Amino acid sequence: MSQPQNDGKVVIELQGIDKRHLAYVWEKMKRGDELAGQEIFIGRSMADHPQWFPHFETIGLLEGDDELPDGTNPFAHVSLHVLIGSQIFNQNPPEAETFYRMRLRKGDEQHAIIHMMIETFQRHLLWAAQHRGPDGQLNFDMGAYAGTLRKLWHLKTNKLWRRLGYAEPPVPHEGEGP
């Protein structure tokens, strides 16, 4: 799942959404077909990223590395959007839906809220990868993640982003950041 590199970095590999399924959802969206089930999360996540529409058009045509020159992997990123969307929809953990709802009430944009949650989730995932159990297993602490969401949901937007290590709220997909 993850392994330390020689330079001390940790690489975490999550199983993303199969590209064939992404291509299928993309084609349905282009035809205007109704999406159902998880296709809704996938479709919304793809629609939230118009800068990557050309990449979605070519899903499956090229094999190999999907990383863009800026270091972003659109398919991994969409997978994280879907994961967070699923947490919100299924209320698993319940704090995910509450966090989302409370941030909407505070006036945050939907896409920015998803990025707040992705940033929080990734930090907990990285911690779990760096502190494996004696058996080498990665043990993600959903309770700790939920607790962090609880601590963050009441904060003003600027303060929340500062807690996450940003001087200013990042603009999704511009420069560094989520």
C-alpha span between 19 and 74 (Å, rounded): 11
> Residue 127 pLDDT more than 70?
yes
pLDDT tens digits, one per residue of 9-50: 544 555 567 888 888 999 999 999 999 988 998 999 999 899
Radius of gyration for the alpha carbons in the chain, expressed in angstroms and rounded:
17
Q: What's the pLDDT at 117?
A: 97
- pLDDT value of position 109: 94
Q: Supply the pLDDT for residue 62.
A: 59
Q: Helices (DSSP H) in 11-70: which residue ranges?
A: 19-31, 38-47, 53-57
| pTM: predicted TM-score of the whole model, two decimal places | 0.80
Instruction: Count the residues in the chain.
Output: 178
Q: How far apart are CA 112 and CA 35, in angstroms?
A: 23
What does the pLDDT look like over 147-166, one tens digit per residue? 999 999 999 999 999 999 99
- CA dist 136 and 70 (Å) reads 32
Helix (H) or strand (E) segment spanning residue 2: strand 2-4
Residues with Cβ within 8 Å of residue 19, at least 6 apart in sequence: 59, 60, 75
Rounded Cα distance, 63 and 42, in Å: 21
> How far apart, in whole angstroms, are the C-alpha atoms of residue 38 and residue 65?
25
User: Where are the chain's structural domains?
Assistant: 2-163
pLDDT at 15: 57
The dihedral built from the CA positions of residue 45, 49, 53 and 58, taken in this order, carries a sign that is negative
Q: Return the pLDDT at 142.
A: 94
What CA–CA distance (Å, rounded) separates 137 from 52? 34
Query: What pLDDT does 175 receive?
Result: 44
Give per-residue pLDDT as tens, 50-104. 988 988 888 766 566 677 778 788 888 888 999 999 999 999 999 999 999 999 9
Task: Round to whole Å and give the CA distance between 114 and 118.
Answer: 6
